[in-house]
Structures are given as structure tokens and as C-alpha cells.
Amino acid sequence: MFVTRFAPSPTGYLHLGHAFAAITANEAAGGGRFLLRIEDIDSSRCRETFVEAIFQDLRWLGLSWVEPVLRQSARMEVYGSALDRLTRMGLVYPCFCTRAETAAEIAHAGEAPHGPDGPIYPGTCRQLPVEERLSRTRSGGGYALRLDSARAAARVGQLFFEEAAGHPPTDFERVRVNPVLFGDVVLARKDTPASYHLAVVIDDAAQSITLVTRGRDLLPSTHVQRVLQTLLNLPAPKYAHHRLILDEDGRKLSKREGSAALRNYRNADLRADEIVAMLQRA
């Protein structure tokens, strides 16, 4: 028995991939508890209508969850204090580089190590003298806060996470963490005061999640998330990264294209149990 969660971002209507993720999380709870979390930190992309639509679509699928639903947008102070804690540990530095500057620097270097999200930040601002850091942060311009991943790695030592060996998740394999897989990840930006990785580890702990189920595309994130959990003294859940539902061309479904939105199926008079059966075959 596990405590699991489904954690969509309300940036569009749920599609078949979300339905599969939600059903998988619910099943994996195995008589434990299935929770819901709305990942709405990025206020420029999230919409209240999509939050309502998430509830409706999940209910239509026949799912129910243990209240309360956790809303990330209401938890900025919690994320802020975790960030302060990491800063006091000397593991965070301000980064003033624009995306264009970083791209130019990487191009100039000729060859840059790549992480799961593309080229790794070259660490330009990590070297800035303290006085320059202070004067630039005080000048009021925007800046990001990055994790000093090498320092963090030294501090946490060798870590592992437990990944389900199959489905349903009964046996688990130990996976060795690569703490610098993403390099110096952004933990906060001026317009989004907490990054996905930071908020997720804090909230998985706050909701007492014991098994994180999510798509395989997020498996690499687990490496950096284990580092953050350890630094913040948070418990480590187990993980079960599941297969993705792909479109006819073998690509991941995206909310932007409205591909396979659940409500289209509902409007076409398909029944939820037909969707569930279809996903099992997909």
C-alpha cells in the first residue's frame, strides 16, 4: 500500500497521457491513498479554467482522491524558506545570464556537456566575486538562483533511489544517483520563485507521498530531486516511472496541440471505461 499522487499543471486540457498517468497513480496506491496536486507555480501559463477542467475530467474517469488538493501557488513561502536554507548552506548562487548569453557562451566553448534538458549551464556566474554578486543583486535587475551542483554533490555523497522493476510496483531496483546530471539547475527565477524540482520534492514530502508514479520522461529529474531531498532532510519516496502514451507518429502527446484531449472523447460520447480499456491496449 502506497500514498501516490497525480500532479498535473493546469496549462491546458488533460489528454490521454494524463489519463494514463492518473489511472496508474490511483492503481499503484493499491488500497492506500491517492492524492492530487495542482502544479500551478507558473502563473503566466496556468489558468483557473484548466484547474476546474482537471477535476471534471478526473471525475469523469471515475477517479476520486483524498482531499485536500494541494495547490502549489499557495505555497510560495514554504518554497522560499527551503531556498533560504540552501542559500545559508552555501549551495545557491545568483545567475545574471540571459538565455541568449548562455547560448552564446556554450556556442563559443564549442563543446558543452549535455544534460536531459540540453546543454548544461557553463557556470559563468558561479565564479563571480562576492562584491559583484551583491551589487548586481541589489541593482534590482532580474536574476535566477542556481544550485551549485558540484558542492551539493560533495555534501550529499553517494545517493540511490528505488525504481520499480515492473508493473504493478512490487519489486524495486536501486539506481545510483548522478548528482550533477542537470548541472547547476535553476531553483528560482524572478517571475517563478520556485522551480519544478524544488517544489516537487517539498510537496511530495508535505503530502507524505511514498511512491511517485509519473512518465518515463521525468526519470532523469529523479537524480536532482534526490539531491534536493537529501539537502533538505526530506524522506525519499520510491519511484515508478511508467511508459508514455504516444501519438500515431510516436511522439509524446502535448497539451499545446490539444492532442487527444479527454474532453474531445467525452464530447464524442465515448465512455470513460472505453478510454481506460483503450489506454491499457495503447
Binding site for ligand GLU (CB under 6 A): 7-9, 39, 200, 214, 218
Task: Please state the closest distance from residue 50 (CB atom) to ligand GLU, in A.
Answer: 11
C-beta closer to ligand GLU: residue 7 or 63: 7
**Backbone torsions φ then ψ of 92, nearest 5 degrees:** -130, 140
C-beta closer to ligand GLU: residue 17 or 179: 17
How far apart are the C-alpha atoms of 39 and 72, rounded to whole Å? 5
Q: Which cell goes with 150?
A: 558540484
Task: Please state the closest distance from residue 15 (CB atom) to ligand GLU, in A.
Answer: 11
C-beta closer to ligand GLU: residue 41 or 112: 41
C-beta closer to ligand GLU: residue 7 or 147: 7
Q: CB under 8 Å to 226, separation ≥6 — which residues? A: 159, 160, 161, 177, 179, 236
| Strand 186-188 relative to strand 144-147, pairing | antiparallel
C-beta closer to ligand GLU: residue 200 or 260: 200
Task: Please state the closest distance from residue 138 (CB atom) to ligand GLU, in A.
Answer: 34
**Backbone torsions φ then ψ of 261, nearest 5 degrees:** -60, 135
Contact 10, 46 (CB under 8 A): yes
Contact 19, 50 (CB under 8 A): no
Task: Please state the closest distance from residue 8 (CB atom) to ligand GLU, in A.
Answer: 5
Q: Which cell goes with 57?
A: 475530467
Task: Please state the closest distance from residue 7 (CB atom) to ligand GLU, in A.
Answer: 4
